[in-house]
Structure 1
Amino acid sequence: MTALIIGLDGGGTSTRCVVVSETGEVAGRGRAGGANVVSVADPAANLLAALRAAMDGLDPALVAGGVFGLAGSGAERARRLAGEAWRSAGLPGHPSVVADVLVAFASATAEPDGTVLIAGTGAVAARIARWEIAAVADGHGWLVGDEGSGVWIGRRAVTAALKSLDGRAGPTVLLDRLAALGTSVGDIVSTVYAQVADSGPAWLATFAPLVDAAAREGDEAASAILDEAACRLAATARALGPGEGPLVLAGSLLTQPTELARRVRAEFGDAARPIPARDGAAGAAALALRAAFPSADLHRRVIGECA
């Protein structure tokens, strides 16, 4: 068998891994829970689970390289977790660790320059130049940033329900949609804090689909949350200034047919013509293949094979 290349994308909700041959064919896939080092309780276990699943039945000795796309990859902790997972999976050498924005961009296009905007569990935008990150806006984590993200939307949904309950705002269907949290202010607050402590703040992003559905039904509070989220996401991307290349929209909230995605596209207008990201793990694999075999031109094949 030819050499194997590994690409891994560790997001806030899920970790996806793909193994490709040196000629670009998919040899294995794996999936596990989230691996965002800021918002996930045990990212190391999920990195290892995705790696092992993707390498099932394959010879580790054939692995010639790999790229991990991780949120917060500039931190030493992200590099350490990636290295530990790689060694625990019995793989030779060590992986390169890059920011999730770069693998998201690479999953959509073989162009070396452009802009990428991500909105999933977290939110961040980046300018890409010659396959390097030239500038970044936001991506500061759920507590002080990630404006317009799933966690941000989830927090706003809980706040809207609490305001409706205690009389600071009018009625909203979000109160009924979040009934599992409790029916009183005290119950909701205690449940939210306990769940975040147990599961990490990424848990709040599970409410984003509820807000999306409520906005489609005309709920004013939900619609206002998505309007503000779309405005903040567009502002994050625009903060990077004009540049060459495509605009890539990434993350589950912008690549799925969500109400938020529609509003974000409207913010940019028809002239922007943004393109959706595909599988971030494929983008990581394409980058890893480019690094291991510089003379090969297989980027488009890899992201097409993994679509």
Structure 2
Amino acid sequence: MRNRVIIGVDGGGTKTRVMVKERPDGETLFDQNFGMSNYNNIGVEGLRAVFRVIYEALITCFGERLKDAILVLGSAGVDRPNDVEIYLSALKESGFTCQLEVVNDAEIALIGGNGGRKGALVIAGTGSIVVGIDSKGKIVRSGGWGGLISDEGSGFQIGRHAIAAVMQEYDKVIAPTSFTEKLLTHFQLASPEGFMDLLYLENTIPVNKVASCTPIILEAWAKGDEAACMIVEAELGKLVGLVVGISRQLGSEKFRLSVAGSLLTKSTDYFGMLKEKLSLVLPQVEISAPLHDPVFGAIMMGAEYK
């Protein structure tokens, strides 16, 4: 008799990666990307639609085996018990009858990045969060409370402050920046006043849109633009503060800190500066690239439930 299959799902704001194995060290039986599955971006109906496509793809590959599978979903939209229920209901309504476990995507990234339930993880992409596992095996967190009050060191915060700098230049409060025209071109705006329509005419804050300009600001930072340097280095300092918060919650200044998110995995300068700043306040922390992808962390979690 074959082993139960483990379905690992990494649900994000741009794509959803699904991997299937019988055990973490076994053969990969399925590995595909699907549409976004962050409830905050697409709502319940959108969630059901994506999960239905995933279900159809898996039932085609695994047939009756799917009924006895273990599915672990990690999604950025999972922060409270009510969020878990929303995702569980959407999975069930899409056809899944197997064992289901739903957690925040930071948890699967932490387990995958450190190769097990240990250490901590800092994520900095569109948003940000730092998570860790304490001596009792409990997940602890610092940050990640959304762009209005948190998400320190994230693409959204860098983009938000960059737009603010453009407006300050427009008002003659600060000297001209090297990125103003590039931001206007990026957002297809005729003048800085166009940011009012971009930011305030939607029902929700356009987080992804604002964060999308981050590469422009990082480039200006690398070239020494004064406004960009102030923005990026201030946000890096705040990100370090989140790691300090996790250190206090863990009761330790010595742990492995894995990284995730485009700002830390795609920008060597941003990662390098974070490492430099962190070494000044927590020199014993080992900051490293992740050992495995988040979806593999979901597989590892699924193996715990077998």
TM-score between both structures, scaled by the size of structure 2: 0.83
For residue 95 of structure 1, give the secondary structure of its aligned residue in structure 2.
strand
Give the deviation of 1:223 after TM superposition: 1.8
Q: Distance in 1 between matches of 2:49 and 2:263?
A: 22
Q: Distance in 2 between matches of 1:145 and 1:234?
A: 13
Distance 1:134 1:106, change over 3 A: closer
Query: Are residue 170 (structure 1) and residue 184 (structure 2) matched?
Result: no
Match of 2:200 among 170, 193, 200: 193
Distance 1:133 1:102, change over 3 A: farther
Distance 1:50 1:7, change over 3 A: farther
Distance 1:136 1:256, change over 3 A: same
Give the deviation of 1:130 after TM superposition: 6.5
Q: Distance in 2 between matches of 1:282 and 1:130?
A: 23
Residue pairs, 1:123-202, within 5 angstroms? 123-129=128-134, 132-180=137-185, 181=187, 182-194=189-201, 197=203, 200-202=206-208
Give the deviation of 1:271 after TM superposition: 4.5
- Paired residues in the alignment total 290
Match of 1:212 among 203, 215, 218: 218
Structure 1: where are the runs of 5+ without partners?
293-307
Match of 1:261 among 259, 271, 281: 271
Report the residue type matching 2:191 in the other structure: S
Residue pairs, 1:1-307, within 5 angstroms? 2-22=3-23, 24-38=26-40, 40-42=41-43, 44=47, 47-48=50-51, 51-52=54-55, 55=58, 57-63=60-66, 64-129=69-134, 132-180=137-185, 181=187, 182-194=189-201, 197=203, 200-240=206-246, 241=248, 242-243=251-252, 245-269=255-279, 271-277=284-290, 278-292=292-306
Give the deviation of 1:287 after TM superposition: 0.8
**Aligned-pair RMSD on alpha carbons?**
2.7
For residue 9 of structure 2, give the secondary structure of its aligned residue in structure 1.
strand
Give the deviation of 1:232 after TM superposition: 0.6
Report the residue type matching 2:274 in the other structure: V
Identical positions, percent: 26
Q: Distance in 1 between matches of 2:64 and 2:205?
A: 36
For residue 108 of structure 1, give the secondary structure of its aligned residue in structure 2.
helix
Report the residue type matching 1:151 in the other structure: F
Q: Which has the larger radius of gyration?
A: 2
Q: Distance in 1 between matches of 2:49 and 2:145?
A: 22
TM-score between both structures, scaled by the size of structure 1: 0.83
| 1:87-128 Cα shifts (integer Å, max 9, x gaps) | 344222342111222111111222432111111121111221
Structure 2: where are the runs of 5+ without partners?
none
Q: Distance in 2 between matches of 1:177 and 1:201?
A: 19
